[in-house]
Amino acid sequence: MHNPMEHAQRIAPAPITAGGSAADLVDGAFHAYNAARLKEACRLLAREVLTPGVTVGWTISGALTPAGLGRSCLVPLMQAGWVDWLVATGANLYHDLHQALDLPLMAGRPNLDDRKLREEGLVRIYDIVMPYDVLLSTDTFVRSTLEHVPPQPLTTPQLHAILGRAAAEARLARGVAHATVLEAAAELSVPVFCPAPGDSSIGMNLAALSLQGKGPSLDVAGDVNYSAAIVWDAKRAGQSAVVIIGGGTPKNFALQTEPHLQEVLGLADVGHDFMVQITDARPDTGGLSGATPSEAVSWGKINPDELDRTVVVYLDATVALPLLTAYLMERATRRTPSRLFARREELVGGLMTASRQGATRE
């Protein structure tokens, strides 16, 4: 019988001293509770997931980019070749554009008087404050960028590539030092999906253009097939992993790729091979419904034979993601970007062929 304590290590850490790195802190002092789960996630990613042959999709929800985690964490992760595809809320992508436009996002406090903020033309995201004009300027940028795009259906990665290239031009023109998420994704050919595009200011500005008969429409079915095609191709050539930061529609959109392949298209597959999740939600109240690794197995989302290669960290993403990023920068090996956006037609064509032929996985 397997001994569950066979590989257990004694908890006997050395005292923390000055000068240590974030990775050393995680390895040396994170021994129990969610600190230990974060260490497990860091080590799983560095040693097994972010390696050649594993296609890694990341998801982000919540207001992470206005908190600065786009430029500080997501962009370096993409530039290291560790993000093959990304799923985000529209809010994260919209607020990402403020940085490219050199518009101010200020650190405030969560207990500010919102009536006074309204009177003074300020908007609050918990303890982040910005002038209302930041929104108006960004709205103008989005509309001016998209109004000349032919009125044709685009997938959200196609839409975001257009915005990313425009953001790069705007950033360079303003002398802003660091790239934003959409710009880095466009440069590195990382497809960026938004499963609920109407639930954001980017979607609202698209809607405003549609009233004038201008701008593109969005191809929702194209997004579903494109994301599933990425996973289908990944499983043919190697393995698939998902790293879920938060929850919401990005979480489910990334995980539903496998049910789309198996349940809807009728293709034989066995789920993602790795899953790392950072969340503060609970399954018993519905916040993680269908999305804990073990529950996801019942949906075909996670390979049941790889359940021990999944980790859930119950921790605030604004704390966990910087630590995770710092750890990977020290312990993981950089990869050549997979440039999956440039392969979009090839990938979707492969899925189309498989669905017509009723392909099965060997």
Residues taking part in catalysis: 301
CA–CA–CA angle 142, 145, 146 (5° rounding): 85
3-state secondary structure of 358: coil
**Length of the chain in terms of residues written:** 362
3-state secondary structure of 289: coil
Task: Sort 51 into a burial class: Cβ within 10 Å, 0-12 / 13-18 / 19+.
Answer: middle
Q: How far is CA 123 from the centre of its chain?
A: 25
Non-local (6+) Cβ contacts of 281 within 8 A are: 247, 287, 288
Non-local (6+) Cβ contacts of 283 within 8 A are: 289, 291, 292, 295
Separation CA 16–CA 22 (nearest Å) = 11
Helices 344-357, 220-237: crossing angle, 10 deg rounding: 80
